[in-house]
A and B are shown apart, each in its own frame.
Chain A
Amino acid sequence: MKEKPTFLQPILELRDVHFYYGGVHALKGISLALHPGEIVTVIGANGAGKSTTLRLISGLLKPRSGKVIYSGSDITGLEPEKVAALGISHCPEGRQVFGRLTVIQNLLIGAYLQKNRNEIQRELDRVFDIFPVLKERRRQYAGTLSGGEQEMLALGRALMSRPRLLLLDEPSLGLAPMMVEAIFSTIASINKEGTTILLVEQNASMALEVAHRGYVMETGQVLLEGDSVQLLANDGVKRAYLGG
């Protein structure tokens, strides 16, 4: 049994967020909350608005209406680099590592906001501890890594800034099942070290297994929310996302 951390104030809160892609009403009033220390997953089919939600949080998109509150302050519509400076690290969909730069350069760019050399070295050691394969390949161009290794690099890069909140967009995308297992157990252990994680996934069963709570999204709306145990037991969720 996973133990639920005790919560005070939410670290991140979305209040009735609306977003339009041109004329398309992509998010129809999303509200969700994350508490410090939690892993919360957002599951749903393609086009439900999961990635859009993450981009709104990290400032890549600006909501039409509604509010994004982080640690009690309003960050709605803040520039992405300012959001990053507040300790929110976004690991974008499809990994997007810097292909023509080496692994180590990728990681150092992740630590861009950190100017202290010793801190950077410490973070680098930590990331290499979590992903020993990155240490082996540190001089290799990121573009030459396998999909799983690129995902590790993307995760490692996101961790280099020592974020308080980690936004993960489909980390299992296009990975072999064994690699998916490895990535998810890493996500769980990152969380145990104190990082709050918002995990967007299509792989609902895996996501609900590591998450404390979950939201089910469909066509721009939150359909269901609850403990992952409850969601896993929910008939609708089972039928729609868990193949049972």
Chain B
Amino acid sequence: MELRPFIDYFSLRRLIYRFVTWMPLRWMTLAMLLLLTGMLALAQAFLNPYYLSIIEFIGIYIILTVSLNLTNGFTGLFSLGHPGFMAIGAYVATLLTFPVARKPLMLPNLPAWLAHIEIPFLPALITGGIAASIAAVVIGFPVLRLRGHYLALATLGFIIIMSNLITNLRDITRGPLGINGIPAATTIWLVFGWAVITVYVCWRILNSSFGRALLAIREDEVAASVMGIHLTKYKLFAFVTGAFFAGIAGGLWAHLVTAITPRTFWVPMAFNLVVMVVIGGSGSITGAIIGAAVMSVLAELLRPIETTLGLYGLIQLITATILIVILIYRPEGIMGHNELNLAALVKVRSFGVSRSPSAPEDAKEGENRRRT
């Protein structure tokens, strides 16, 4: 005879399922935000700076992958250009927040107007993001005519151009030496505040007619254009929005690490970001978040092993292996094109509750299909 637990397993699941499906999306989001806030507060209170910085990096990677997904996942534009935009955001924000008193020492040849500027972090960050999106507009017009591999190569070229530009503009960037002693202004709240904004913005885009237009472009450009969708406009929009958040992430990065060089935002960074998006599932916001978190945690777990064994490069080796395994066995990534759905998560494994909740109004349904 089987033992009967006090609350049997399936009715517990049913209870959770009921609860999760009953709860309106708005409340659920609020609950999640509160949970996140609580966890971050705990982290800040109890964790040492090393662990705290790992969490901050995860947040920055979430901003990066979710915004990269806007082009790579939703619009089907395979861009590698994110590090280039990060570099712009990082350098612009750094030049604006760097203390005026120390500027002559670090950057003696700075143009006068830049040498006398020092503004708070947040406006500097936003200026960096805006600068990155302006760059995206400029390079977007020629580059977005390309597709597939050609676009990937052109955006790769953009990273290299940016890096060379920074290396050679010694007067304002200090060239290959990079800038250090940047104020450590990045806090966990700022990082996750921006991560939440990024996710929210991408979510809203995705669940609007605007987002459907992006998806249509990904699926079939010809069919999309005869539906009345202006291809260039939408591609540019996705590219520029992604670049803005990459610029923000770059600024946060610079003020977290407090030192930047042209090589910080280099090709391996592009590779890392693409791996995170692919592993998480291109075409899914929650997938991008999962990819970012899993890969950054993994890298940190492997780092001590790498150092003690003296096997430098182990992290890259394992990352590449994971990528290959994922591409073979689950090419659409962990989440594929779906979003993490708590209701479905509980429902999948419980039978007896196959009754689907009553269908809402149709036009609305398309909007709310992707529920958390």
Chain A residues proximal to chain B, CB less than 8 Å: 58, 60, 79-81, 83-85, 89-90, 92, 96-102, 104-105, 108-110, 112-113, 115, 117, 120-121, 124-125, 128, 138-139, 157, 161
Contacts and interface: CB of A to CB of B under 8 A. Distances in A.
Interface in B191-229: 209, 212-213, 215-216, 218-220, 222-229
B361 A84 contact: no
A13 B362 CA distance: 38
B230 interface: yes
Contact of A109 (B216, B365, B369): B216
A147 to B, nearest CB: 16
Interface of B: 209, 212-213, 215-216, 218-220, 222-231, 283, 337, 361-363, 365-366, 369
B363 A117 contact: yes
Top-6 shortest CB links A-B? A84-B228, A98-B219, A90-B226, A80-B225, A96-B223, A113-B228
A235 B337 CA distance: 54
Given A58-B226, A92-B222, A108-B212, A138 B362 contact: yes
Given A112-B212, A124-B362, A60 B230 contact: no
Interface of B is mostly: helix
Contacts of B224: 109
A84 B222 CA distance: 12
A161 B227 contact: yes
Contacts of A100: 218-219, 283, 337
B363 A109 contact: no
Nearest to B223: A96
A167 B230 CA distance: 19
A89 B229 CA distance: 12
Contact of B229 (A96, A108, A112, A138): A112
Contacts of A84: 225-228
A115 B219 contact: no
Nearest to B233: A81
Contacts of A110: 227
